[in-house]
Amino acid sequence: MDTTATADIILTPSAASRVAAIAAKQGKPAVLRLSVEGGGCSGFQYRFGLADAPEDGDTVALRDGVALVVDEMSLDLVRGSAVDFVESLGGSAFQVTNPNAASGCGCGSSFSI
């Protein structure tokens, strides 16, 4: 497995804590995969899911025993971003603060470059 620890993307303490809790509840490893897909209301959308392990070529960001993994193609679109877990009156969700996004949408899960 050729993984690289990096500062290209970070996982906040709040997000790491949430991933650890979800993974423990589901009996899975604490590995969150972020990918970017075409679509959404602004052109691209973020996808989150638990993974069993990093894959070859993934970039890995570690925080408090939790891994955030991003594939090479997605990393080009989210480099320099932070993945956070935010709780508000409207609900709770993982959120990406992406300096590469030229615009976003109201739902917070879609962006354009």
Query: Domain segments of the chain: what residues?
Result: 4-108
pLDDT at 79 (0 to 100): 93
pLDDT at 5 (0 to 100): 47
- Measured distance CA(33)–CA(55) in Å, rounded: 10
User: What's the mean per-residue pLDDT of the chain?
Assistant: 84
CATH of domain 4-108: 2.60.300.12
What are the tens digits of pLDDT across the range 66-107?
999 999 999 998 999 999 999 887 788 898 988 877 655 554
Say what the pTM is: 0.82
* φ/ψ of residue 104, rounded to 5: -135, -165
Exposure string of 51-71, with b = 16+ CB inside 10 Å and e = fewer, is beebeeebbbbebeebbbbbb
Percent of the chain whose predicted confidence (pLDDT) is above 70 = 80
3 state DSSP class of 4: strand
Mean pLDDT of 36-50: 81
pLDDT at 11 (0 to 100): 95
Containing 24, the helix (H) or strand (E) segment is helix 13-26
